[in-house]
């Protein structure tokens, strides 16, 4: 999967009909993208999307391309990174510093069960109810794919991805509504970490899960419907 990037200079200075097609770049872990458009303009751009948003998107594209095992792995990572995002957004909302949270997270960064436990209790504290979690059958399926080499079918990957989406979407909306300052600080911190010396623009992309639009609009489309939308966008740009 590649990411279409538009040139900032072309977008602001050219007539709409003269704006060149996007430049396609490979996804990067640090969210910092450097590219030159067909008119020779150099761009340094930070993608604002959080890791959990991108990982879910990558999983959806993996299904579109027929890589079902990779899709399950990406959906799994997306859910885990959403748990991390929720935990940090809540604690930032309560006044804890980014530095304190980063140092604390290091002690559990390789322990997914402890991360899940933290999410469960902080969610329960915030909303006075236990959070929705993956059903045991989906957990077993995930472990077989990720740890035992199971090769899933398309239908299995879609079902698993939908189960993850059904967890993230409502929790993401509650996060955006209940912890707006924490979400904002997390977004700013993400941008600052990507380009600590400044000098980079920012960009965003429409994603199936999107924390910045969660307060205004949460899509109710199924994963299958979302993938059909991705297929349309791909045909448009290609």
Residue (of 60, 87, 70, 56) closest to 209 by Cα position: 56
Question: What tokens appear for 32 in the block?
Answer: 């910092």
Give the sign of the dihedral formed by CA 41, CA 44, CA 49, CA 52: positive
Half-sphere exposure of 40 (CA within 13 A, CB side): 0
In Å, how far from its chain's centre is CA 85? 10
Q: 228: left (phi > 0), else alpha (psi -120 to 50), else beta? A: alpha
Regions of the chain with pLDDT less than 70: 1, 14-20, 196, 198, 217, 236-238
* β-strand partners of 24: 4
For position 234, what pLDDT does the model report? 76
Supply the angle between the helices 154-178 and 180-194 in degrees, to the nearest 10: 110
User: Can you give the pLDDT at residue 76?
Assistant: 98
- Residue 55, by phi and psi: left (phi above 0), alpha (psi -120 to 50) or beta? alpha
CA pair distance 3, 104, nearest whole angstrom: 33
Amino acid 236: pLDDT: 67
**pTM more than 0.85:** yes
CA distance 198 to 192: 8
């Amino acid at each position: 999967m590649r990411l279409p990037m538009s040139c900032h200079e072309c977008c602001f200075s050219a007539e709409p009909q003269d704006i060149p097609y996007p430049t396609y770049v490979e996804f990067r872990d640090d969210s910092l993208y450097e590219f030159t458009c067909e008119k020779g303009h150099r761009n340094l751009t930070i993608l604002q999307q959080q890791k959990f948003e991108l990982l879910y998107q990558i999983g959806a594209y993996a299904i579109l391309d027929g890589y079902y095992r990779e899709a399950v792995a990406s959906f799994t990572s997306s859910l885990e990174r959403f748990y991390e995002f929720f935990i940090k957004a809540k604690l930032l909302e309560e006044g804890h510093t980014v530095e304190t949270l980063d140092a604390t997270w290091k002690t559990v960064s390789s322990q997914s069960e402890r991360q899940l436990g933290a999410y469960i209790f902080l969610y329960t504290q915030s909303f006075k109810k236990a959070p929705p979690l993956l059903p045991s059958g989906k957990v077993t399926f995930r472990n077989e794919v990720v740890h035992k080499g199971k090769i899933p079918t398309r239908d299995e990957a879609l079902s698993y991805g939908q189960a993850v989406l059904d967890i993230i979407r409502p929790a993401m909306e509650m996060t955006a509504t209940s912890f707006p300052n924490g979400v904002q600080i997390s977004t700013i911190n993400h941008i600052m970490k990507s380009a600590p010396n400044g000098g980079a623009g920012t960009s965003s992309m429409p994603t199936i899960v999107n924390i910045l639009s969660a307060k205004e609009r949460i899509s109710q489309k199924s994963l299958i419907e979302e993938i059909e939308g991705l297929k349309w966008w791909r045909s448009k740009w290609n």
